[in-house]
Amino acid sequence: MSESSNINLSETLFQQHKEAKETSSLTQYMPSSSEFFEQKMEQDPFSWYRNLRRLQWAWLGINPIDQEEVLANMASSEHSRSHEKWLDTVIGYHSGNWTYEWTKLGGRYHKQSEALTGEAAAERMFSASLCYSIAGYPHLKNDTLAIQARVLANAAYKQASELTQYTIKPLEFDYQGKKILGHLHLSHTDEPQPVVIVSAGLDSLQTDMWRLFRDYLAKRNIAMLTIDMPSVGHSNHWSLTQDSSCLHQAVLNQLAPLPWVDHRRVGLIGFRFGGNSMVRLSFIESDKIKACVAIGAPVHDVFVSQQKMKLMSKMYMDVLASRIGKHAVDIPSLSAQLMAWSLKVQGFLATRRTKVPILALAMEGDPVSPASDNHLIATFSQGGQSKQIKSESLTRGYEQSLDLAIKWLEEQLCE
The shares of helix, strand and coil residues in the chain, as percent rounded to the nearest 5, are 50, 15, 35
Residues in the chain: 415
- 8 pLDDT tier (thresholds 50, 70, 90): low
- The pTM of the whole model exceeds 0.85: yes
Q: Please say if the pLDDT value at position 398 is more than 90.
A: no
**pLDDT (mean) for 295-321:** 89
Higher per-residue pLDDT: 32 or 249: 249
Q: Please say if the pLDDT value at position 11 is more than 70.
A: no
Q: Please say if the pLDDT value at position 146 is more than 60.
A: yes
Res 360: pLDDT = 95
Res 182: pLDDT = 97
Res 252: pLDDT = 98
Q: Is the peptide bond before 367 cis (omega within 30 degrees of 0)?
A: no
List of residues 6+ apart from 374 with CB closer than 8 A:
294, 297, 360, 361, 362, 386, 387, 388
**pLDDT (mean) for 280-298:** 96
- 74 pLDDT tier (thresholds 50, 70, 90): very high
Q: What is the DSSP string of 367-403?
A: SSS-HHHHHHHHHTBTT-EEEEEPGGGHHHHHHHHHH
29: number of Cβ within 10 Å: 20
**pLDDT (mean) for 15-28:** 77
Res 327: pLDDT = 77
Radius of gyration of the chain (CA): 21
Res 313: pLDDT = 86
- Condensed to tens digits (0 to 9), the pLDDT of residues 277-286 reads 999 999 999 9
Higher per-residue pLDDT: 42 or 371: 371
- 196 pLDDT tier (thresholds 50, 70, 90): very high
**pLDDT (mean) for 231-251:** 94
Q: How far is CA 116 from the centre of its chain?
A: 29
Q: Please say if the pLDDT value at position 214 is more than 60.
A: yes
- 391 pLDDT tier (thresholds 50, 70, 90): low
Helix (H) or strand (E) segment spanning residue 175: strand 167-175
Which neighbouring-strand residues pair with 182? 171, 227
Q: Please say if the pLDDT value at position 325 is more than 90.
A: no
- 294 pLDDT tier (thresholds 50, 70, 90): very high
Res 12: pLDDT = 60
Res 395: pLDDT = 63
Res 3: pLDDT = 45
**pLDDT (mean) for 111-122:** 96
What region does 257 belong to: left with phi over 0, alpha with psi -120 to 50, or beta?
Answer: alpha
**pLDDT (mean) for 354-382:** 91
Q: Please say if the pLDDT value at position 5 is more than 70.
A: no
Percent of the chain with pLDDT over 70: 93
**pLDDT (mean) for 24-28:** 89
Q: Please say if the pLDDT value at position 382 is more than 70.
A: yes
- 331 pLDDT tier (thresholds 50, 70, 90): confident
Reduced to 3 states (helix: H, G, I; strand: E, B; else coil), residue 264 is strand
Res 33: pLDDT = 83
Average pLDDT, the chain: 90
Closest to 413 (Cα-Cα) out of 371, 366, 374, 357: 357
Q: Please say if the pLDDT value at position 4 is more than 60.
A: no
